């Protein structure tokens, strides 16, 4: 069975400070992991994905995430937040041989001026 837990439903940071959005997963298989972002009234956009290659994954807009098998975590980070980063972020796990995406409940990021 697979599951994903986003540890914070809301995160607030000041513009220019680092961003950390936390995600833990559970999977019986070697997982593929994704981070998506959803801006208001828009569809979900892929930020980055991990598929058993390098454990540090770089994505778009300066985001990156590190796959830590020992901690079953896939936290999303960005060194310096921008106002345009304010959005909802979803962590997703997908297991070997399955079509299924399992979504977390989302983390709403607020960026303060």
When asked if residue 89 is in the footprint of other proteins (CB under 8 A), the reply is no
CA 68 to chain centre: 13
The residue within the footprint of other proteins, chosen from 12, 26, 80, 98 (CB under 8 A), is: 98
Q: Which of residues 12-31 bind other proteins (CB under 8 A)?
A: 29, 31
User: Please, are residues 66 and 55 in contact by the beta-carbon 8 Å criterion?
Assistant: yes
CA distance 87 to 76: 14
Least Å distance, CB 16 to other proteins, is: 27
Side-chain half-sphere of 54: how many Cα atoms within 13 Å?
A: 7
When asked if residue 97 is in the footprint of other proteins (CB under 8 A), the reply is yes
Chain residues that interact with other proteins, rule: CB under 8 A = 9, 29, 31-32, 34, 36, 41-46, 49, 51, 90, 94-106
């Amino acid at each position: 069975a697979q599951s994903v837990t986003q540890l914070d439903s809301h995160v607030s940071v000041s513009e220019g400070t680092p961003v950390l959005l936390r995600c833990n997963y559970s999977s019986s298989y070697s997982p593929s992991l994704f981070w998506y972002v959803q801006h208001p009234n828009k569809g979900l956009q892929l930020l980055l994905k991990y598929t058993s290659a390098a454990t540090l994954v770089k994505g778009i807009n300066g985001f990156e995430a590190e796959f830590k098998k020992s901690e079953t975590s896939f936290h999303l980070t960005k060194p310096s937040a921008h106002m345009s980063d304010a959005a909802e972020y979803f962590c997703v796990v997908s297991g070997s041989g399955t079509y299924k995406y399992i979504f977390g409940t989302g983390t709403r990021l607020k960026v303060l001026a």
